[in-house]
Structure 1
C-alpha cells in the first residue's frame, strides 16, 4: 500500500514455530478466519521434533512451509520475511490467536494515517489454567502512559522507557520499514523484537490501537516465562541500541537520561526476581549494578530500601 493508495493492500503473515503441535493450528486458523484475507502465510518450522510438520501438512497449499534446522526465532522470522510478497507485514507467534477483525482494524488505521509505518494493538494474556489477566496496555498505562489512537512520531524515547509493543503478534507494518532498518538480529535469543522496534522507531511513525485484537497464550513452554533471562536480553538490547545510535543520543540529552534510567531499572527488576528466588549473591550483584548505572538520590534510596529489606529479613 503506497501512501496515497486506497485499494485493498496485500498482507503477508509470518509464523515461526518450534515444537508447537498443541497450538499452531489455532494460530493458523485465526489467520484464515480474518475478515481481511491475506496474500500469503509463511510458516517456518524451526527444527520441530514433535508433530508440528504433520499438523502443517493438513493445510496444503494454503501455507508456504519452510523447514529448517533449529536456529532460533529471529532467524526463523527472517527466513519467513524473505519469502513474503505483501505490501504489509504481520507477525504471529505459533501459540497466539488473532481476533477476526485484527487485520482489518489495523489496515483501517494505516489508511486513515498514511504517514504511519507501524501499528500495534492491545492484547489479553491468557493462561489455559487461569484465564485472561489485565490487558497489555492496561499494564503499560500504569507504568508510563503513551499516546493511544493517534500518530506517535518516532517514539524512541517512549520505547526506551517501556516496551509498549510487548510482542510480535500484535503488529502490522509496511514492508518499506524493513528496507530502512533491516531484519531481526539472529544473535539475540530473546528481545529480538524489542531490538527491531527500537530501530524502527528511529525512522517511522507509530500508531497504538487501544482495541484488544489478540489473545497471547502463556504456558510453561513460553520463553518469556523465564523473565529474569528475558530482562537480561532487554538490557543487552538497550546497550546495543546506544552503541549503534551514538549521534542520536549526542543530539538529545533527554534521550540519554531516559537510557540511563532504563538500564538502571531493568537491572533493579532482575535483582528483585533473583532475590525472590533465593539467589541472593546474584541478586545483590545486579542490585549493585543497578546503582552504578544511576547514582541519583531517588534511585539510590530505592536500591538501599531493597538492600535493607532483604538483609534484615529473618
Structure 2
C-alpha cells in the first residue's frame, strides 16, 4: 500500500526537518512513502534544499511563488499511479507516529469514505491544548457547505480515487480556504467523510500562520462561494446560507464583545436576507445542541 505525501514549502527552513521527521517516524504501515517537497518560489539561500538531502524525498522547486493551493496540485500531479492514499502536510505541522496507520484503517473499512480526519494538539507560545474537546466535527456535506469544521489539511488522510476526478484550474486568487474547497470538491462527488477523536497531529500555532490573516481568509471563502459553488453544482440557497452564517456570526460576536462594527455588519446581512440569517441562526443552535463544531 503506497502513500503520497505532499509538503508545500515557502520560507520553511525553521520547520521542514520536524515535519519530515514525523513522516518517516510513521509506524504500523506497509508499502512505500512517496514524499514530495514543493518549494513554492522560496529564493536561495532561504530554500530548504540543503536541509533535506538525507531524507528519501522528491524535491520540486517552483521558480515563482504561486501559493499553497497551486503547490499542492503540483505535488499531486507528481504522484505515481500506485499511490492509494494521499496527505497534504503543512511545513509547520508534525504527525504523531500512528497518523497514517490509524487513518488508513478507518478508510479501509468503508470505500464510500473520501477522507478521514483526526483530532489535533495545538501548540503555541502559551502552552498546548486539544483542539476538539467539548465539540467535534461531523463532516457532513450539508454542514460543510455552511462552515468549514477543520483547521488544516494536515489532519486529513485522503483516498486517492477521491482526487482523480477533481477538475481544478488553479483559479483561487486568495489563499487560506483552499482546504475547505478540497473537502467540498470531494464530498460533491458523493463521497462521505469521517472524524476520529484520536489526537494524531501537532499543529503549531505561530504568528505567521495563515489562519491569523482573517481578512484574507474571508476573501478566500467569499471567492469560493461566488465562483466555485456553481462549479460544484451547489445552489443559490447554499450561497445564501453561507452568507447568512457570516452575518449571524458577526451579530453574535458584536453582542458578545460589545463591538459595534461587527454588530452593524451582521445587521446589514440581516436586512439584506433575513431568511438566510435566521436559517444560519438555527444551524448554529443545532450544532451547539449536538456538540458539533
User: Given the two structures, how large is their TM-score scaled by the length of structure 2?
Assistant: 0.80
Partners in 2 of 1:264 and 1:108 — Cα distance? Answer: 38
Contact map agreement 2:245 2:277 (CA 8 A) in 1: no
Residue of structure 1 equivalent to 2:158? 173
Contact map agreement 2:6 2:36 (CA 8 A) in 1: yes
User: 1:121-144: per-residue Cα shift (whole Å, max 9, x none)?
Assistant: 1112211x1121341x33653xxx
Matched, 1:64 2:58: yes
SS state at 1:138 partner: coil
In the TM superposition, residue 186 of structure 1 has moved relative to its aligned partner by: 4.2
Partners in 1 of 2:41 and 2:258 — Cα distance? Answer: 35
- Equivalent residue for 2:178, pick from 177, 192, 195: 192
Residue of structure 2 equivalent to 1:266? 246
Q: How does 1:134-283 map to 2 (within 5 A)?
A: 134-135=130-131, 137-138=132-133, 140-141=135-136, 146=138, 155-183=140-168, 185-203=171-189, 204-246=191-233, 248-249=234-235, 256=237, 259-269=239-249
Residue of structure 2 equivalent to 1:290? 269
Aligned positions, number: 273
Partners in 1 of 2:162 and 2:277 — Cα distance? Answer: 39
Matched, 1:130 2:109: no
Q: 1:274 to 1:32 in 2, by over 3 A?
A: farther
Q: 1:130 to 1:222 in 2, by over 3 A?
A: same
Residue of structure 2 equivalent to 1:102? 99
User: 1:84-130: per-residue Cα shift (whole Å, max 9, x none)?
Assistant: 12221111000001000000001111112233221111112211x11
Q: 1:224 to 1:249 in 2, by over 3 A?
A: same
Residue of structure 2 equivalent to 1:20? 12
In the TM superposition, residue 65 of structure 1 has moved relative to its aligned partner by: 0.7
Residue of structure 2 equivalent to 1:29? 21
Partners in 1 of 2:75 and 2:213 — Cα distance? Answer: 26
- Structure with max Cα Rg: 1
Q: 1:17 to 1:271 in 2, by over 3 A?
A: farther
Where does structure 2 lack aligned partners over 5 or more consecutive residues?
282-293
SS state at 1:194 partner: helix
In the TM superposition, residue 34 of structure 1 has moved relative to its aligned partner by: 0.6
Contact map agreement 1:97 1:214 (CA 8 A) in 2: yes
In the TM superposition, residue 277 of structure 1 has moved relative to its aligned partner by: 11
In the TM superposition, residue 297 of structure 1 has moved relative to its aligned partner by: 10
Q: 1:52 to 1:89 in 2, by over 3 A?
A: farther
Where does structure 1 lack aligned partners over 5 or more consecutive residues?
1-8, 148-154, 251-255, 303-314
Contact map agreement 2:175 2:216 (CA 8 A) in 1: no
SS state at 1:181 partner: coil
Partners in 1 of 2:251 and 2:129 — Cα distance? Answer: 25
- Equivalent residue for 2:38, pick from 40, 44, 48: 44
SS state at 1:87 partner: strand
SS state at 2:153 partner: coil
Residue of structure 2 equivalent to 1:253? none
Residue of structure 2 equivalent to 1:93? 90
Q: 1:134 to 1:161 in 2, by over 3 A?
A: farther
